Chain A
Amino acid sequence: MLKRSLAIITILIIGYWLAQSLAGVPFGEDKMLVGQYYLDHVKDQTGAVNAVTAIVVNYRGFDTLGEVTVLFIASTGVGALLWRKRKKRTAKTEGSVVLTTGSELLFPFVVLFGSYIFIHGHLTPGGGFPGGATIATAFLLLYMAFVSYEIPHKAFEKTEGLAGMGYVLVGLTGLAIGGYFLFDWIWQTWQWGTGNIGRLFSGGFIPIIYTLIGIKVGTELSGIIDNMLKEEVRE
């Protein structure tokens, strides 16, 4: 009781303090400095209509590379923590026919939609991370619906590594062509897709990188799901 009330009082004090500091910040006013630059130049500098993905991949691509690395480390960490020689699914009960049939039917559509999200990252909201998470959801669906489903490990792990390498390779190509890491060579040097901004084949290297990120995130999260669902079996 004392502990709880102390915690509540502390949190209230912290909340009041935060609210005090936020009270001085003007909301709803035009305070953009860098943001205005992004909004003004995003189309002719990156070819993307979606300013968010343009910033995330193009202007500040380094952060995205870091995020991908964080995810990779998380996946590797889960794999290392839960590593055992023999692991098996230990689902107790069979799913009902409605569930298994439904997930079997839905699986390709969910994967299709996930691919749609990451391919159209430069045009619509979304991008590599939501698309990859959607694809991982499709695999989670299969994991949940079937007693003994397992992703093809060899292919998945290789794809994950290759996709991550592909991202770095695109960045290094930019270094070779344009002079700095993650330079958008497809847009800046080749001028490819300048004629059709707002259509699918535009946006410089954003769709390429987002496809790679989507594949990587999808396989990675599926791997984490797989690791967490399996349990040790005794001989």
Chain B
Amino acid sequence: MNALAALGEILVFIGTFFYFLSALGLIRMPDVYNRMQTSTKSATLGSLGVMIGVGIWALGEDFGSVAWLTKTIVISVFLLLTNPISAHTLIRAAYKSGIPLWEGSVMDKYREHIEAKAKEAETVGAPESETPEEGGEE
């Protein structure tokens, strides 16, 4: 075992620790939004740690080669780009389908924004492209 392998092992350990924190956050947090916050963030970081760690770990072993590190870097870049997008989409969908915030939350600027927009559309009146609906013709 050499320095590279040791560094990889430490990174993997840190990664698994963050995985654990992410799972703990899923249990401990009060509502969907907080749960998503804790789980996605630490799971992304944990995965990065584990994958880069495995790549570096393999560099230090006899059987290892650079191929491992290349692959893990590609995978982690992919994960780093996609995970936040999926978290964003999930949270947005949760909000749009009306899942309430935690009762302890103080502010909901997004709700205010949506309501202000709706009001604006009402006062302007006659929303654009209001084609008369043709229904009940069966």
Residues of A within 8 A of B (CB): 93, 95-96, 98-99, 102-103, 105-106, 109, 234
CB-defined contacts of A95 to chain B, threshold 8 Å? 89
Q: If the complex has contacts A93-B96, A234-B134, are A99 and B89 also in contact, measured as CB distance less than 8 A?
A: yes
State whether the Cβ of B94 lies closer than 8 Å to any Cβ in chain A.
no
Interchain CA distance A102-B80 in the complex, whole Å: 12
Q: Specify the chain B residue showing the minimal Cβ separation from A109.
A: B78
Chain B residues within 8 Å of A96, by CB: 88-89, 92
Q: Which residue in chain B gives the minimum CB-CB distance to A144?
A: B89
In the complex with contacts A93-B96, A234-B134, A106-B81 CB distance below 8 A: yes
Q: Which one of A98, A105, A106 lies within 8 Å of B88 (CB-CB)?
A: A98
With A96-B88, A234-B134 as known contacts, state yes or no: A102 contacts B81, CB within 8 Å.
yes
B85 contacts the other chain (Cβ, under 8 Å)?
yes
B65, CB-defined interface residue at 8 Å: no
Q: Mark B55-81, 1 if CB is under 8 A from A, else 0.
A: 000000000000000000000001001
Q: Which residues on the A side are within 8 Å of B88 (C-beta)?
A: 96, 98-99
A93, A95, A99: which has the most chain B beta carbons within 10 Å? A99
Which residues from chain B contact A106 at a C-beta distance below 8 Å? 81-82
Could you say which residues of chain B place their CB within 8 Å of the CB of A93? 96
CB<8 Å pairs between A and B, sample of 16: A93-B96, A95-B89, A96-B88, A96-B89, A98-B85, A98-B89, A99-B88, A99-B92, A102-B81, A102-B82, A103-B85, A105-B81, A106-B81, A106-B82, A109-B78, A234-B137
Complex Cα spacing A96 to B84, Å: 13
A234 to B78 Cα, complex, angstroms: 42
Q: How far is the CA of A47 from the CA of B88 in the complex (A)?
A: 46
Give the chain B neighbours of A99 by CB distance below 8 A: 85, 88-89, 92
Which B-chain residue is minimally distant from A103 (CB atoms)?
A: B85
Q: In whole Å, how far is A92's beta carbon from the nearest beta carbon of chain B?
A: 10
B81 proximity list for chain A (CB < 8 A): 102, 105-106
Chain B residues closer than 8 Å to A103, beta-carbon distance? 85
A102 touches B85 (CB 8 A): yes
Give CA–CA (A95, B88) in the complex, Å. Answer: 11
By beta carbon, the residue of chain A nearest B74 is: A113
A210 CA to B109 CA, complexed, in Å: 52
Mark B73-109 against chain A: 1 for CB-CB distance below 8 A, else 0: 0000010011001001100100010000000000000
On chain A, the residues within 8 Å of B82 by CB distance are 102, 106
**Shortest CB distance A129–B (Å):** 21
A136 to chain B, nearest CB (A): 17
How distant is B9 from chain A, measured CB to nearest CB, in Å? 26
